[in-house]
Amino acid sequence: MENKYKSIGVFDSGVGGISVLREAVKKLPNEDFIYYGDSKNAPYGEKGVDEIRKLVFQVAETLVSRQVKAIVVACNTATSAAIDKLREKYKNMPVIGIEPALKPAIKLKRGGKIIVMATPVTLKENKFMRLMKQYEDFAEMVPVPCPGLAEIIEQGHFSGPVVNDYIETKLATYKEEKIAAIVLGCTHYPFVKEEISKVVSANIPIIDGSEGTVRQLKRKLQSYNIINDKTEKGKIEIFNSLNEEMVELSYNLLNS
């Protein structure tokens, strides 16, 4: 099959990357996608870097064995821990990662703190340290590690007391301060965006990295000359390492 007609592989530690897939399908409707959620091994965000790398390579192999033309790492944690190694291994195809969207948050030029919610691994890794350094002169950024939040979402809680209590506790310290924006540095968190909005003042922008990632995906497909030029709507296949219920949950989130 000609390269441009192959699918784009997208993966995450679980259902979180569906927030990126949703944006990708919107912006690239004629592409075919294969999504792999590694819910059996979730959460990645509280594991050691070596273990995350091992898991990421396994998932990438699965996608490559399905003949994908590009890989989207729809997981901030996996990107922090493994993107360089992944690009070294798969030199001949675009490998796109995701990172906390600090730049769009800074660009809003609202006064106050930029709260960055992400997994402990993402916030601890060098990649994020470098990113923060790049923007430190423009705003005060406050990393807020959220261990356990991705798991709550994996369990299918998108609203209600479990989610609300978690977010209330996490953001309690900042409620009285001026918040410029909240950056969602984990692809699971957009699914509880409304709940976050209820806890802080409703006019605070909540930004995630999916738009930037999909823009970069499109640019890469163009530069490799592998944009799918068919005119009909693309196919989406979803796999999950845990069970069929997670596949069903993923389709529901994709259509939500």
Does 19 bind ligand DGL (CB under 6 A)? Our answer is no
Shortest Cβ distance from residue 187 to ligand DGL (Å)? 4
- Give the interface segment with ligand DGL, choosing from 7-15, 27-35, 128-136, 166-174 (CB under 6 A): 7-15
Does 75 bind ligand DGL (CB under 6 A)? Our answer is yes
Q: What type of residue sits at position 214? A: V
Sheet holding 236-240, edge to edge: 95-96, 70-73, 8-12, 33-37, 236-240
Give the CA-trace dihedral at 64, 79, 15, 162, to 10 degrees: 160
Choosing from 24, 75, 139, 149, the catalytic residue is: 75
Site string for ligand DGL, 150-179 (x = CB under 6 A): x-----------------------------
Shortest Cβ distance from residue 95 to ligand DGL (Å)? 16
Site string for ligand DGL, 20-59 (x = CB under 6 A): ----------------------xxxx--------------
Does 119 bind ligand DGL (CB under 6 A)? Our answer is yes
Choosing from 74, 95, 131, 186, the catalytic residue is: 186
Q: Which residue numbers belong to the known binding site for substrate?
A: 12-13, 44-45, 76-77, 187-188
Does 13 bind ligand DGL (CB under 6 A)? Our answer is yes
In terms of C-beta distances under 8 Å and separation of at least 24 residues, what long-range contacts does 132-138 make, across chains too?
132/102, 134/102, 135/102, 135/103, 135/106, 138/106
Active site residue 75: yes
Give the CA-trace dihedral at 190, 192, 194, 195, to 10 degrees: -150
Contact (CB, 8 A) for 43 and 35: no
In whole angstroms, what is the distance from residue 15 CA to residue 7 CA?
19
Task: Report which DSSP code applies to 67.
Answer: T
Provide φ and ψ at 95, rounded to 5°.
Answer: -125, 110
Residue nearest to ligand DGL (CB): 45
- What H or E segment, with its residue span, contains residue 218? helix 210-223
Active site residue 146: no
By annotation, the residues acting in catalysis are 75, 186
Residues near ligand DGL (CB under 6 A) are 12-14, 16, 42-45, 75-77, 119, 122, 150, 186-188
